Amino acid sequence: MNSEYNVDVVVIGSGPAGYSSAFRCADLGLNTVLVERYSNVGGVCVNVGCIPSKAFLHIAKVIREAADLSHQGVFFNSPVIKIEKLRLWKEKKIKSISSNISLMAKRRNIEVILGLGKFITSSSMRIVSEKKISTVYFKYAIIAVGSKSVKLPYLKYDNPKIWNSTKSLNMEYIPKRLLIIGGGIIGLEMATVYSAIGSQVDIVDSSQVTLPFLDNDIVYTYLKLSKKMFDYKSNTSILNVEDKDSFFIVKMKNRDGKIYVNKYDNILAAVGRFPSTSELNLDLIGVKLDNFGFIKVDDQQRTNIPHIFAIGDVAGKPMLAHKGIYEGHIAAEVISGKNVYFDPKVIPSVAYTDPEIAWVGITEKEAISKNISYEVSIFPWVASGRAIVSNSSSGLTKLIFNKVTKKIIGGVIIGNNAGELLSEITLAIEMGCDAEDIALTIHAHPTLSESICLASQIFQGTVTDIPNLKSKLETN
């Protein structure tokens, strides 16, 4: 069965960037088709990434919080995990979200075509599935095909005990011993999940520094708090992986030359992701890529071919869903004739670990490297009443201010619900707020969010919840 479509816009990829862009196009009156190669819309994020990982991270958080309550005299039986029921619950939630995306597309009169799409000219695309071949002729195209896991050459991925992030989220069973290769955000989140549900987890990372984009004090705090969950070995390389059918013998060496030989039931490779551009025939139509395989775009998300746009992971780092959604709106609005640009001051990031780490804007490291006159203001959660009674007093809120202008230029939070708290800092930076704007905004008490206000008061020299180190300076 063959079908032909003549549309204003074709969007390739139905992840958060793709479906958001398609929906915005339709809302702006553009006749839009959405192409998805897999059977369910929502992309990696909804089906095998962000959403299922957060589902399991929620379970992990509840397990740990229940265990922590034993210190307050509240005891629960050890959790009994029925893995099949847990997996079915996850799949039900994913199906619900994916179905809602399909429903929103239908309500906007967007045709969703399932199949693998490839450009045949700069104004046409062929989509092939098992049931039919479709040809789409378009005025504009938006590429939003996302990214794939990087594969390590020494691992045999046809072995079901060798996992990438997708396989780890299938949750078919709980390994007794799990090795995670790669100590980035994905690796740390999966370690958080599997250690909570019963696996003994080791993380091995070849980098000298853990989470090198964060300041050392934040990394130190995180590693100190997480060391009970898993063993983290930085600056350690894998020498050999021997497959013994039912388990693996892994030989590794650390920075000091010490050799480790350990036995594992499963290995999860989480060493990064790369853009999924290889199957689109981009070379055929002349779309230019950079040296890392990302599609080159301008500040309106245009490629070198003016009527073809790229958004999300394929358009460059940071490879974050919320960045892709923002870009998707920009592309749709540019196509509709609006004079808009991708120009956010900052893009927030979150590691949904335990504890969570959330950061935005300039770090202390960056301020030093860019020769910015700055001042750090840290409010420790041990001085927060809400944190103390919520078993999260080990967290902290760190703000970076420009010392000359007094404006907030960056911030990081480590602790319970850090990702939710970060939005205030992000908004403050976007609005150009200075320390006084935040310090004089009344925050609800007792809350974790007031730590942002209190950190600003520390900078102002008006804090009363902890010793005011600037009070003597005020009186002189």
Domain boundary among 311, 335, 359: 335
d(CA 181, CA 194): 14
Residue 261, SS3 per DSSP: strand
Which tokens go with 36? 């998805």
Q: In terms of domains, do 382 and 308 share one?
A: no
- Which segments are annotated as binding site for NAD(+)? 182-189, 272
Annotated binding residues, written as ranges, equal 54, 117, 182-189, 272, 313, 319-322
Q: Which among 263, 285, 266, 289 has a CA at the least distance from the CA of 277? A: 289
Q: What whole-number distance in Å separates Cα of residue 347 and Cα of residue 349?
A: 7
The pair of structure tokens assigned to 13 is: 């990829």
Domain extent at residue 178: 162-271
Q: What are the binding residues for FAD?
A: 54, 117, 313, 319-322
The set of catalytic residues is 445
Answer yes or no: do 24 and 136 share one domain. yes
The CB density around residue 93, as the number of other CB atoms within 10 Å, is 15
Task: Report the domain count for the chain.
Answer: 3
Same domain, 7 and 143: yes
Does 115 fall in a domain? yes
Please report whether residue 238 resides in a domain: yes
Q: Are residues 174 and 123 in the same domain?
A: no
Q: Looking at 271, 300, 323, which one is the last position of a domain?
A: 271
Q: Looking at residue 189, which CATH number applies to its domain?
A: 3.50.50.60
Q: Show pLDDT as tens, one digit a residue, over the chain (476 residues).
A: 789 999 999 999 999 999 999 999 999 999 999 999 999 999 999 999 999 999 999 999 999 999 999 989 999 999 999 999 999 999 999 999 999 999 999 999 999 999 999 999 999 999 999 889 999 999 999 999 999 999 999 999 999 999 999 999 999 999 999 999 999 999 999 999 999 999 999 999 999 889 999 999 999 999 999 999 999 999 999 999 999 989 999 999 998 899 999 999 999 999 999 999 999 999 999 999 999 999 999 999 999 999 999 999 999 999 999 999 999 999 999 999 999 999 999 999 999 999 999 999 999 999 999 999 999 999 999 999 999 999 999 999 999 999 999 999 999 999 999 999 999 999 999 999 999 999 999 999 999 999 999 999 999 999 999 999 887 655 44
Whether 155 is covered by a domain: the verdict is: no
| Same-domain pairing of 140 and 169 | no
Among the candidates 335, 358, 374, a domain finishes at 335
**In this structure, are residues 188 and 164 in contact, taking their beta carbons and an 8 Å threshold?**
no
Q: Are residues 287 and 252 in the same domain?
A: no
Asked if 267 and 294 sit in the same domain, the reply is: no
In contact, 18 and 43? CB cutoff 8 Å: yes
Size (the chain), residues: 476
Burial of 43 (0-12, 13-18, 19+ CB in 10 A): buried
Q: Is residue 410 part of a domain?
A: yes
Instruction: Tell me: do 435 and 408 sit in the same domain.
Output: yes
Does residue 154 lie within any of the structural domains?
no
